[in-house]
Chain A
């Protein structure tokens, strides 16, 4: 039973380019969460999605960042016109339910480096 799959594992972009990070949740999970982790810091919540719906995007910057979870295919976190400050590890997690049930299962993360 495959876990949460993220790709690419490593991505290098120049300032001004676009970064697309993909996440396939665990089988049977319909809730996806994106977190960002900077070196020596904790996981910072960005966005929570269910299929075709953004439920909570309170942690996502208003500009340049967007996320989607289409009916078919993986969830995608898109960062437009990247800047050096976007360099971080981006983790995706999934869960079967949401409110008071179960833990989050994390992927291995996508490490973005902006030159």
Chain B
């Protein structure tokens, strides 16, 4: 089976740093995605990790530890427009089809 856990909601202050965690238990592993989704809009791709370590891309960074089944998304210099849902998804090849499975998402609220 597959299980992907994220906090339901987080709040943070404009200009601050926030870390959104994701833990997973899957039969296999072939990469972890982070997506951003504003209310009523399409999810948009943020990052993809397949090897352990930190991937930095501007204000956003993503970390992966395969041995711990753990990832986090780090958002720096928060802006009001970062208020959105952040979705963690794991690609599991064990079923043969490599379909990304999504967590329930973390709703981030950035306040002034």
Contact = CB atoms under 8 A, between A and B. Distances in A.
A104 B98 contact: no
Interface residues of A, number: 25
Nearest to A105: B45
A100 B50 CA distance: 9
- Which of B43, B45, B91, B100 has its CB near the most chain A CB atoms (within 10 A)? B43
B99 A106 contact: no
Given A56-B99, A98-B98, A41 B45 contact: no
A100 B30 contact: yes
Contact of B97 (A48, A103, A107): A48
- Which of A4, A40, A58, A59 has its CB near the most chain B CB atoms (within 10 A)? A40
A42 B87 contact: yes
Contacts of B97: 48, 55-56, 58
19 contacts: A41-B105, A42-B102, A42-B105, A43-B102, A44-B102, A45-B101, A48-B97, A48-B99, A56-B97, A58-B95, A99-B30, A100-B31, A103-B45, A103-B48, A104-B100, A106-B43, A106-B44, A107-B42, A109-B42
Contacts of A98: 98
Interface residues of B, number: 27
> Do most interface residues of chain A lie in helix, strand or loop, or is the interface mixed?
loop
Contacts of B4: 42
A-B pairs, 3 with minimum CB distance: A56-B97, A42-B104, A106-B42
Interface in A82-113: 91, 98-100, 103-109
B41 A108 contact: yes
A49 B30 CA distance: 20
B33 interface: yes
A41 B100 CA distance: 16
Contacts of B41: 108-109
